[in-house]
Every structure is written in structure tokens, then in C-alpha cells.
Amino acid sequence: MTASEAVLIYQDNLDVVSRALMDCDLPLMMRHIAVPNMMSTKDTEIVMSSPEELDIVMSDFRNQLLARGVETYERTCIEAAFVAGRDDMIAGRHKTATTGEDGVAVAEYLNHMVLMRIDGQWKGIWLQAIMDNTELQILSPDIAAAQAEARRMLNTLRR
């Protein structure tokens, strides 16, 4: 496996998931995103443990994009490579750009992502957007708050 193959696989995943997000096509998205799945921003993280949670998070994110006038949502691979010693895992970086009627709808931002080949299909298992969730609410605030409270309670119980 070569670095150029990793870039092609990574970009294909970006393209398919971006299209599925904007089309509200959960079945297509589920073929390219693993569940459970972890997503994070600088200030928030969530684990989506079911297709229903994935659907909620992606619907909330799509609604955020549409509310800001996003007409095109494009993600472009910057770099990707197979993880050392693993031909079933790719780590990479990409940028996300949007446009609307008046030009740029949301400022471009960077992301990190890990893909894993599961049952012969490349799926995203982890994504980190390099921005605060409060800037765009990539992650559903209600789910993020509930999971943060659950972690807080667990930490309290351990003491």
C-alpha cells in the first residue's frame, strides 16, 4: 500500500460522506462511518454509539450548515498515510470549505481523521475538527452535554 493509495481512499471517504451529509442519506453515510464513532472539536467530544445517534448528530450539523446559508460543503485531503504496520488503518488531515450565495459561508477549517477497513469497507472511526464547537456546533450540543455530564458523574463516583 502506498501513500498515494491512502490519499485516494481518504478522499473517496470524504467525498461520499460529504455528499451523504448534504443529501441526508443515512444509509450511505453508515457504509462509510463506523459506529461506535468518536468526534471531537477543541472544546467538545462525543461518542456516537448507535446509528440513531449518528443520524441526530449529522442532522443537527446539516441544519447548522443550512442555517448559515451553506450550498456547497467540500472536504479536501491535505495528506494521508497508512498507519505504520497497519494496512487496514489510514490517518490523515483535510480541510473543510463551504460556499453560499454570497461566497464563503463558514470559514475554512482543518480536521484530522482516522479510517479503518472494516469488513472490506473503509470507514471513519475518529474525526477531530480543529475549531471550537461553539463556532459551528459540529457536534450536537445536547448529546455532548449529556455525555459530558455522564463522564463528570463517573469521575465523581470513582473518588
Cβ atoms within 10 Å of 98's Cβ, excluding its own: 21
| Paired residues of 38 in beta bridges | 47, 126
Q: Domains, the chain, ranges and CATH?
A: 3-158 (3.10.450.50)
Residue 70 pLDDT: 94
Residue 57 pLDDT: 87
- Cβ-in-10-Å burial (0-12, 13-18, 19+) of 50 comes to exposed
What's the length of the chain? 159
Residue 99 pLDDT: 94
Residue 4 pLDDT: 93
Residue 81 pLDDT: 97
- Helices 3-23 and 51-67 pack at an angle, to 10 degrees, of 80
Residue 56 pLDDT: 87
Low-confidence ranges of the chain (pLDDT < 70): 137-151, 154, 158-159
